[in-house]
Amino acid sequence: MLLTSSLECEPISTADLQVPDGTALLRSIAQIRTYRREQEIYCQEQKSEGWYCVVSGVVRKYHLKQDGRRQIVDFHLPGDFFGVTCRAYHQFGVQAITDETVTAFYARQKLENLMGSDAAAARQVRQKCVEAIERLEQQMLVMGTMSAPEKVRAFLIYFHGRVAKFGDDGSLTLPISRYDIADMLGISAETVCRAFTELRIRGDISLEGPRHVRMVRGAAETY
């Protein structure tokens, strides 16, 4: 099932869509692919054939262990590159979280060639790599030094910061479940719930439905 899923996506003309921030040359080698909710973009242990960039929607990069535990290592939003590896096989799988998730795929050799000749494209990819490194390092801090409620608060601030490019009032609609949050933070879903409750009682957030959080200004600003 997992292995066939990537065949189900529909190719779309690249002219239809804009890869966010993408240079014209990057766009010229992109294959646009669309995915449904929960659909596998590629799965772990699968052969790595190139890189991807999120055009729209949200994806999760994750690893499944034999014992069934899942670790989400990153969420990717429009403009993020993923599938970035120099190995032959993927260490992580990637799934679409939202319906109508669109990615641009760049065959590895084409992208390498392009970056060899086009410094602007190379610079952009490098920039995205650096951002990913900083995001992961920040996440290490969260994982290593925070209590469960602090982790959840940090996650909400992080996610809010990534999603809301526009100036806004602190409200946030989560495209992801408590289980996703739990597997990202390395805690149980029950503990995530309790943390939400605690943050609500403390006045850091208010909840209008489980997926609709409002960050209270002042209480939830600082890390």
Least spacing, CB of residue 125 vs a second copy, in Å: 7
Cβ proximity to DNA: between 27 and 178 the closer is 178
Which is nearest to 176 in space by CA: 75, 106, 69?
Answer: 75
Q: What are 124's strand-pairing partners?
A: none
Of 38, 93, 59, 72, the residue nearest 184 (C-alpha): 72
Structure tokens at 94: 């990637």
Distance CA 101, CA 35 (A): 5
By three-state DSSP, how is residue 22 classified? coil
SS3 72: strand
In the chain, DSSP finds a helix count (H) and a strand count (E) of 6, 11
Q: Work out what residue 41 binds among DNA, a second copy, none; the CB cut-off runs from 5 to 8 Å by kind.
A: none
Give, as ranges, the residues between 51 and 70 that touch a second copy (CB under 8 A).
61, 63, 65, 69
Q: Which stretch binds DNA (CB under 7 A): 39-47, 102-110, 127-135, 180-188?
A: 180-188
Among 1, 7, 86, 201, which residue interacts with a second copy (rule: CB under 8 A)? 86
Taking a C-beta distance cutoff of 8 angstroms, is the pair 109, 27 a contact? no
Binding residue (CB under 7 A) for DNA from 11, 161, 203, 210: 210
- Helix 119-145 to helix 108-117 angle (10° resolution) is 120
Tokens 């149980």 belong to 188
Of 70-78, 122-130, 160-168, 203-211: span binding DNA (CB under 7 A): 203-211
**Terminal alpha carbon distance of the chain:** 41
Residues 94-133 that bind a second copy (CB under 8 A): 112, 115-117, 119, 122-123, 125-127, 129-133
The pattern of x and - marking residues 157 through 196 that bind a second copy according to CB under 8 A reads --------------------------xxxx----------
CB of 81 to a second copy, least distance (A): 10
Q: Would you count residue 221 as binding a second copy (CB under 8 A)?
A: no
Residues at the contact surface with DNA, assessed by CB under 7 A: 147-149, 177-179, 186-194, 196-197, 207, 209-211
- Residues lying near a second copy in the complex (CB under 8 A) are found at 61, 63, 65, 69, 71, 73-74, 84-87, 91-92, 112, 115-117, 119, 122-123, 125-127, 129-134, 136-141, 143-145, 183-186
